[in-house]
Chain A
Amino acid sequence: MALYNIIHFLEEALNNIRRNTFVAAITVGTIGIAFLIFGIFLIIFSNLNDITSTWKEQIQVVSYLKDGLSNAEIISIEDKIKSEREINSVAFISKEKALSEFRKDLSSQTGLLEGLGENPLPAYFEIRLKKAYQDPKSILSLVDRLKKIKGIEEVQYGQEWVENLSSFLDFLMIAGMIVGGLISLAVILIVSNTVKLTVYARKEDIEIMKLIGATDWFVKAPFLIEGMAIGFLGSLMSVILLFGIYQIIVQNLPLNAGLLFGRFSIAFLSWPDIVVLLIAGVLLGLFGSFVSVGRFLKV
């Protein structure tokens, strides 16, 4: 009985799509375009997010040391720095190394340094942070603690850059949430309503089936399968279109355009994103038909 029913339901769903090919095609198309818009947003947003995380990786904190510290004192300062939980790596740059790097940077103007005699540059630690702490708040609190370590003269962390980045990230998050939320809402409404329309067009059929003695589930199941199939096809179509558009854009992008953003390529949706998109299509189709068939079952 159960197997008989499942076969019947699949048959019915397939036949329904076949009987209403035109409506089904339009529904798939509408859902596809709704998801396409959402997909475009997702690609832009996740690429922006990637870019900002490469920016964040460039954040570094530099701790300048007082002159005249012994090796033992320097090692103890390094240990203290390393004991902070935010630290990913610490590199020591001695006075001599600082000077030679400075020379390298200013190689054309070596004359500037000739008259100095004594090396004026301090030794310093170059500190990189763990991913989870690459945000302004964590940096500020770390800087506060570093400043208190005896032997550290000054701490620099590109204050302006970090603050700009921080407000840009806040803006991006809020804008992303608003735009993403609105688009998601639109997609939910469009998909469930287009599926609803296909059911409404057959509300008389639903009533007739009930009058003949069909149970609610017997009427409902094929519609649910149909809704899921149409939702799936719609979201699948959007992924295919999205990939086509992506390919066209990537191939026509000037080679150095990527450098503007500090990276070399625009990424397509990740596999998990694609799977989520397809599942969303299936679920919205299911939801749309579930709600609308239910409305006509009371006969």
Chain B
Amino acid sequence: MIQMFHVSKYYDKNFPALRDISLEINKGDFVFVMGPSGAGKSTLLKLIFCAERADEGQILIQGRNIARLSDSKIPYLRRNLGVVFQDYKLLQSRTIYENIAFSLKVCGVSNNEIKRRVYFVLKQVGLEHKSDSFPIRLSGGEQQRAAIARAIVNEPAILIADEPTGNLDYNMSVEIFEILKDINVRGTTVIVATHNREIVSKMQRRIISLDKGKIVSN
């Protein structure tokens, strides 16, 4: 599903954020990316959804090489990926419903179909009753659930989450990971960068450990 061959990323010529990374993630996997702050976890994920571009090496996603993907093709790649951020990144001036619907509008889905699918994912994350609320009226956990709903409403093959529970307390975090597990069970490949050792060790999944831009264990 995702393959990286000798990938390096340099923000700074002398200190690569990622150095010679090679890895493979298969369809249906649930993978944690761990490591100390500054290890390159976020960078690794950003390379997958092209928020950053690799300076060396090749990245294949569903068999397609994205190393030389032109800027104008990036949106179409992203529609096939779901991304969840630590700070949720919801559109503040839009309701939860509108936020999730936007993901589908981008793809040109009809309004009836949008309605059906948005309510379906809202139910999945337990937020049906908040569909007309604005993000600011929701708790952090609720906002993150809304962001997850937005990420999966397109039924992407891969869900990427960068510290999705970084701003949440323990109970909320457990709830979020339950939802991610659920999504994975339905067949979506899930990649999560996190600092939350407690939950990671409980979940017993594959862990890719990074330190100073290198893979230290996989």
CB contact under 8 A between A212 and B108, given known A19-B93, A20-B93, A299-B51: no
3 pairs of A and B residues whose beta carbons are closest in the complex: A213-B78, A213-B79, A215-B75
Query: Which residues of B sit under 8 angstroms from A205, Cβ to Cβ?
Result: 91-93
Does residue A216 face the partner (Cβ distance < 8 Å to B)? yes
Contact with B along A277-299 (1 / 0, CB 8 A): 00000000000000000000011
Q: How far is the CA of A212 from the CA of B102 in the complex (A)?
A: 8
Counting CB contacts under 8 A, is A173 at the interface? Answer: no
List the interface of chain A (C-beta within 8 A of B): 1, 4-5, 8, 19-20, 202, 204-205, 207-216, 218, 298-299
Would you call A213 and B76 a contact (CB within 8 A)?
yes
Label chain A's interface by main secondary structure: helix
Chain B residues lying within 8 Å of A20, measured Cβ to Cβ, are 93
Q: A212-B150, A215-B75 are in contact. List 4 more A-B contacts (CB 8 A).
A: A210-B75, A212-B83, A212-B102, A218-B75
Cα A146 to Cα B91 with chains together (Å): 80
When C-beta atoms are compared, the residue in chain B nearest to A19 turns out to be: B93
Which residues of chain B in 108-153 are interfacial with respect to chain A, using CB atoms and an 8 Å cutoff? 108, 110, 150
Asked if A212 and B72 sit within 8 Å, CB to CB, the answer is no
Which chain A residue shows the least CB distance to B94? A19
The interface on chain B, measured as residues whose beta carbon lies within 8 A of the other chain's beta carbons, has a size of 26
Chain A CB count within 10 A is highest, among B71, B78, B103, for B78
Please pick, from A207, A212, A298, the residue contacting B78 in the complex, using a CB distance under 8 A.
A212
Please determine whether A209 and B102 come into contact, CB atoms closer than 8 angstroms. yes
B105 within 8 A of A: yes
Q: Which residue of chain B has the shortest Cβ distance to A12 in the bound complex?
A: B105
The reply to whether A1 and B91 form a contact with Cβ atoms under 8 Å apart is no
Beta-carbon contact of A218 and B51 below 8 Å: no
Say how far B116's CB is from chain A's closest CB, in angstroms: 17
Chain A residues closer than 8 Å to B91, beta-carbon distance: 205, 208-209
* A216/B108 in contact, CB under 8 A: no
User: Measuring CB to CB, which residues of chain B are less than 8 angstroms from any residue of chain A?
Assistant: 49, 51, 71-72, 75-79, 81, 83, 89-94, 102-103, 105-108, 110, 150, 154
Q: Known contacts A1-B108, A8-B105; is A214 also within 8 Å of B89 by CB?
A: no
Could you tell me the distance between the alpha carbons of A212 and B80 in the complex, rounded to whole angstroms?
10
Q: How far is the CB of B14 from chain A (nearest CB, A)?
A: 25
A74 to chain B minimum Cβ distance, whole angstroms, is: 82
Contacting residues, chain B, for A211 (C-beta < 8 A): 49, 51, 78, 83, 89
Contact B75 A213 (CB under 8 A): yes
12 contacts between A and B (CB under 8 A): A4-B110, A20-B93, A204-B89, A205-B91, A205-B92, A205-B93, A207-B89, A209-B106, A212-B103, A214-B102, A215-B72, A218-B75
Known contacts A8-B105, A213-B107, A299-B51; A208 and B89 CB within 8 A of each other: yes
Chain B residue with Cβ nearest A210? B75
- By beta carbon, the residue of chain A nearest B156 is A213
Q: In the docked arrangement, what's the CA distance between A208 and B103, Å?
A: 10
| Chain B hits for A299, CB < 8 A | 51
Residue with the highest number of chain B CB atoms closer than 10 Å, among A1, A4, A5? A4
Residues of B within 8 A of A207 (CB): 89
Cβ-defined contact, A212 with B106, below 8 A? yes
Shortest CB–CB separation between residue B81 and chain A, in angstroms?
8
Q: Check if B72 sits within 8 Å of A216, measured CB to CB.
A: yes
If the complex has contacts A19-B93, A20-B93, A205-B93, are A213 and B108 also in contact, measured as CB distance less than 8 A? Answer: no
Nearest CB of B to A209, in Å = 7
Which single residue of chain A is at the shortest CB-CB distance from B89? Answer: A208
- For B94, the chain A residues whose CB sits under 8 A away are 19
Q: How far is the CA of A204 from the CA of B92 in the complex (A)?
A: 10
**A8 and B33 alpha carbons, distance in the complex (Å):** 38
Q: Which of B72, B76, B108 contacts A5 (CB 8 A)?
A: B108
Taking CB atoms, residues of chain A closer than 8 Å to B51 are 211, 299
